[in-house]
Amino acid sequence: MKATVSRHAHFNAAHRLNVANWTDEKNEEYFGPCNNSNFHGHNYELIVSLTGDIDPHTGYVFDMKELSDIIKLNVESRLDHKNLNLDVPIFKDLNPSAENISKIIYDWLRPCFNSKLSLKIKLYETPRNFVEYGGQ
């Protein structure tokens, strides 16, 4: 019997979306305010979900305190109150879109869990815009 457990976390970060080999005009037209050369912030809401078997002894899929600690250590400590373009090395050459941030969070968290557990990342960049990534 399988169930999905989820932990809601958040972080605040600044970013700028830009494609280096496009002109300034094309970048501004495509990314709009997210291309602001002086950066801008988002209040990111992150939902990390694990799907797996319910342990017959504990009744848990995964310990939520442990999940919270893993997210703090591997994600929040690296992204919270950071300028993603300047402070987080992986985004030096990778546009810090919500899609790419979700993929990077997935890659950081995947090794923390048994491969029998499936992992899904849901990342809200604004209350209305969100991305889901599950490793495909």
Active-site amino acid positions: 34, 81, 125
d(CA 76, CA 109): 12
**Nearer to Ni ion among residue 34 and residue 48 (C-beta):** 34
**Number of CB atoms found within 10 A of residue 135's CB:** 11
**Nearer to Ni ion among residue 2 and residue 26 (C-beta):** 26
Is residue 34 part of the contact set for Ni ion (CB under 5 A)? yes
Min. distance of Cβ 42 from Ni ion in angstroms?
5
Q: DSSP for 43-58?
A: EEEEEEEEEEEPPTTT
Of 33-41, 46-54, 56-64, 128-136, the segment contacting Ni ion by CB under 5 A is 33-41
What is the DSSP secondary structure assignment for residue 116, as one 8-state letter? T
Binding region for Ni ion (CB under 5 A): 34
